[in-house]
A and B are shown apart, each in its own frame.
Chain A
Amino acid sequence: MANLYQSLELIRPEIVLSIALVVLVIFDLIFHLDKKIVPYIALAGIILTGIFVLFNPQSGFAFQQSNLMGKIGIFAVDTFGNYFKIIIVISSLLIILYSFSSDEINKIQDRIGEYYALIYGMILGMFFIISATDLILIYLSLELMSLSSYVLAGFTKLRDRNSEAALKYLIYGSVSSGLMLYGISLIYGLTGSTNLYIINMILQTPNANQFTLALANVLIFAGIGYKISSVPFHFWTPDVYEGAPITITTYLSVASKAAGFALLIRFIKTTFVGFSDSLGNWQLISSFDWKSLLIAISILTMTLGNFTALWQNNLKRLLAFSSIAHAGYLLLGIVVFSNGGLLAILIYFFVYLLMNYGAFLIVMLISNKTGSENIDDYDGLGYTSPLLAVSLVIFLVSLAGLPPTAGFIGKLYLFIALVDAKMIAVAIIALLNTVVSLYYYVRIVKHMYLNKPTEKTLTVKPNLFNTLLVLVLVIPVLVFGIYFQPLVDWAKNSLTILGLM
Chain B
Amino acid sequence: MIGFPILSLITFLPVIGMLLILFIPKEQSKSIKYLTLAITGIQVVLAVILLANYNYNAAGVYEEKSFQFIEKFRWIYITGISWLGNVKVDYFLGVDGLSMPMVILTAIVSFIATISSWTIEKSVKGYFALFLLLDTGMMGVFVALDFFLFYIFWELMLLPMYFLIGIWGGPRKEYAAIKFFIYTLFGSIFILLAMIGLYFSTTEVLADGTRVHTFNMLAMMNPANSTPDGILSLANPNNLRFIAYIAMFAGFAIKIPMFPFHTWLPDAHVEAPTPISVILAGVLLKMGTYGILRINYPIFPEITRQLMWWIALFGMINIIYGALVALAQKDFKKLIAYSSVSHMGYVLLGMASLTTAGVNGAIFQMFNHGTITAMLFLIVGVVYDRAHTRGLYDFGGLAAQMPVYTGFVTVAFFAAIGLPSMSGFISEALVFIGAFGVESIRILTMISTLGILLGAGYMLWTLQRIFFGPLNEKWNTLLDVDKRELAMFIPLSIIIIFLGVYPSAMLDIMNTSVNTLVNFVSGNINSITQNGL
Selected contact of A420 from candidates B84, B156, B186, CB within 8 Å = B84
Shortest CB distance A494–B (Å): 12
Give chain B nearest CB distance to A358 CB in angstroms. 17
- Judge if B178 is at the interface, Cβ distance under 8 Å: yes
| Contact, CB under 8 Å: B178 / A442 | yes
What separation, in Å, do the CA atoms of A397 and B75 have in the docked complex?
23
Would A416 and B84 count as touching, CB distance under 8 A?
yes
Residues of B within 8 A of A279 (CB): 82-83
Interface string of A322-346 (1 = CB under 8 A from B): 0000000000000000111001000
A422 contacts the other chain (Cβ, under 8 Å)? yes
- Which B75-106 residues have C-beta < 8 A from chain A? 75-78, 80-84, 87
Task: Report the minimum CB–CB distance from A419 to chain B (whole Å).
Answer: 5
Contact A403 B151, beta carbon cutoff 8 Å: yes
In the complex, the chain B residue whose C-beta lies closest to that of A482 is B152
Across the interface, name the chain A residue whose C-beta is closest to B247. Answer: A428
**Is the pair B82, A403 in contact by a Cβ cutoff of 8 Å?**
no
Distance of A431 Cα from B189 Cα, bound (Å): 6
Chain B: CB-nearest residue to A492: B81
Known contacts A404-B152, A415-B192: A340-B82 contact under CB 8 Å: no
B396 CB within 8 Å of chain A: no
Q: Which residue of A lies closest to B151 (CB)?
A: A403
Of A338, A403, A489, chain B has the most CB atoms within 10 Å of the CB of: A403
The CA-CA distance from A412 to B87 in the complex, in Å, is 13
- B331 an interface residue at 8 Å Cβ cutoff? no
* Tally of contact residues, B, Cβ under 8 A: 39
B162 at the interface (CB under 8 A from A): yes
Whether B452 sits at the interface, judged by CB under 8 Å, is no
Mark A170-206 against chain B: 1 for CB-CB distance below 8 A, else 0.
0000000000000000000000000000000000000
Which of A281, A442, A484 has the most chain B CB atoms closer than 10 A to its own CB? A442
Question: B159 to A492, Cβ gap below 8 A?
Answer: no
In the complex, A397 Cα to B163 Cα: how many Å? 13
A419→B193 contact, CB < 8 A:
yes
Question: Which A residues, 394 to 410, have Cβ-Cβ distances below 8 Å to chain B?
Answer: 397, 402-404, 408
| Chain A, 367-419, CB within 8 A of any chain B CB | 383, 393, 397, 402-404, 408, 412, 415-416, 419
A463 at the interface (CB under 8 A from B): no
Q: Which residues of A contact B173 (CB under 8 A)?
A: 450
Q: Are A450 and B193 in contact (CB under 8 A)?
A: no
Q: B38-83: which residues lie under 8 A (CB-CB) from chain A? A: 75-78, 80-83
Chain B residues with CB below 8 A from A281, complex form: 83
Q: Is A44's beta carbon under 8 Å from chain B? A: no
| Docked pose: A428 CA to B84 CA in angstroms | 21
Inter-subunit contact A432/B76 (CB<8 Å): no
A420 adjacent to B82 (CB under 8 Å):
no
Contacts of A432 in B (CB 8 A): 189
Which single member of A393, A449, A450, A488 contacts B78 (CB below 8 Å)?
Answer: A488
Question: Closest approach, in angstroms, between the C-beta of B46 and any C-beta of chain A?
Answer: 23
Known contacts: A428-B193, A446-B174. The answer to whether A485 contacts B78 by CB under 8 A is yes
Is B457 engaged at the interface, CB distance under 8 Å to the other chain?
no
Q: Given A404-B152, A442-B181, A450-B173, A416–B231 Cβ distance below 8 Å?
A: no
Among B158, B185, B200, which residue has its beta carbon within 8 angstroms of that of A419? B200
Residues of B close to A431: CB separation below 8 A: 189-190, 192-193
Interface string of A426-442 (1 = CB under 8 A from B): 01100110110011001
Asked if B155 is at the interface (CB within 8 A of a chain A CB), the reply is yes
Given A428-B193, A432-B189, A439 and B156 contact (CB-CB distance below 8 Å): no
Asked if residues A416 and B155 are in contact (CB atoms below 8 Å), the reply is no
Bound CA–CA A278/B158 (angstroms): 41
Closest to B177 in A: A450
- On whether the beta carbons of A485 and B76 are closer than 8 Å, the reply is yes
A403 touches B156 (CB 8 A): yes
**A57: Cβ under 8 A from any B Cβ:** no
Task: Contacts A419-B231, A492-B78 given; indicate if A397 touches B159 (C-beta within 8 A).
Answer: yes
**Contact between A489 and B199, CB atoms less than 8 A apart:** no
**A450 and B174: CB pair below 8 A?**
yes
Q: With A415-B193, A450-B173 in contact, is A492–B166 under 8 Å at CB?
A: no
Q: For the complex, what is the distance from the CA of A404 to the CA of B178, rounded to whole Å?
A: 20
Residue of A nearest to B181 (CB): A442
A338-B82 Cα distance, complex, nearest whole Å? 12
B400 CB, min distance to chain A CBs, angstroms: 41
Please tell me if A235 contacts chain B, counting CB pairs below 8 Å.
Answer: no
Cβ–Cβ contact A383 & B162, under 8 A: no
Instruction: Report A341 CB to chain B, min CB distance, Å.
Output: 10
A280 at the interface (CB under 8 A from B): yes
**CB–CB A435/B186 < 8 A:** yes
A402 touches B159 (CB 8 A): yes
Q: Are the C-beta atoms of B178 and A446 separated by less than 8 Å?
A: yes
Partner of A340, one of B83, B151, B192: B83
Q: Is A424 an interface residue (CB 8 A)?
A: yes
Q: How far is the CA of A281 from the CA of B152 in the complex (A)?
A: 30
Residues facing A in B133-188 (CB within 8 A) are 151-152, 155-156, 158-159, 162-163, 166-167, 173-174, 177-178, 181-182, 185-186
The CA of A420 and the CA of B231, in the complex, are separated in Å by: 9
B197 within 8 A of A: yes
Among A280, A450, A483, A484, contact of B83 (Cβ-Cβ < 8 Å): A280
A434 vs B188: C-alpha distance in the bound complex, in angstroms? 11
What residues of chain A lie closer than 8 Å to B389, measured between beta carbons?
A: none
Question: Quick check: A278 and B185 within 8 Å, CB to CB?
Answer: no
Considering only CB atoms, which chain B residue lies closest to A415 in the complex?
B196
Q: Which of B185, B190, B199, B240 makes the CB contact (< 8 A) with A438?
A: B185
B123 at the interface (CB under 8 A from A): yes
Using Cβ atoms and an 8 Å threshold, which residues of chain A touch B75?
A: 483
CB B82 to nearest CB in A, in angstroms, measures 7
Please give, as numbers and ranges, the residues of chain B lying within 8 Å of A340 by CB-CB distance.
Answer: 83-84
| Residues of A239-281 contacting chain B, CB below 8 A | 278-281
Interface CB pairs A-B, < 8 A, 28: A278-B83, A279-B83, A280-B83, A280-B84, A281-B83, A338-B83, A403-B151, A403-B155, A403-B156, A404-B155, A408-B155, A416-B84, A416-B199, A419-B196, A422-B231, A424-B240, A431-B189, A431-B192, A435-B182, A435-B186, A439-B182, A446-B174, A450-B167, A450-B174, A485-B77, A485-B78, A488-B76, A492-B78
Q: Identify the A interface with B (CB < 8 A).
A: 278-281, 338-340, 343, 383, 393, 397, 402-404, 408, 412, 415-416, 419-420, 422, 424, 427-428, 431-432, 434-435, 438-439, 442, 445-446, 449-450, 483-485, 488-489, 492
> Which residues of B come within 8 Å of A, CB atoms?
75-78, 80-84, 87, 123, 151-152, 155-156, 158-159, 162-163, 166-167, 173-174, 177-178, 181-182, 185-186, 189-190, 192-193, 196-197, 199-200, 231, 240
* Sample of 5 more A-B contacts, CB < 8 Å, known A402-B185, A412-B196, A483-B75: A281-B83, A343-B84, A419-B231, A431-B190, A485-B76
Q: Which 8 A-B pairs have the closest CB atoms?
A: A280-B83, A431-B189, A279-B83, A403-B152, A419-B196, A450-B166, A403-B155, A485-B76
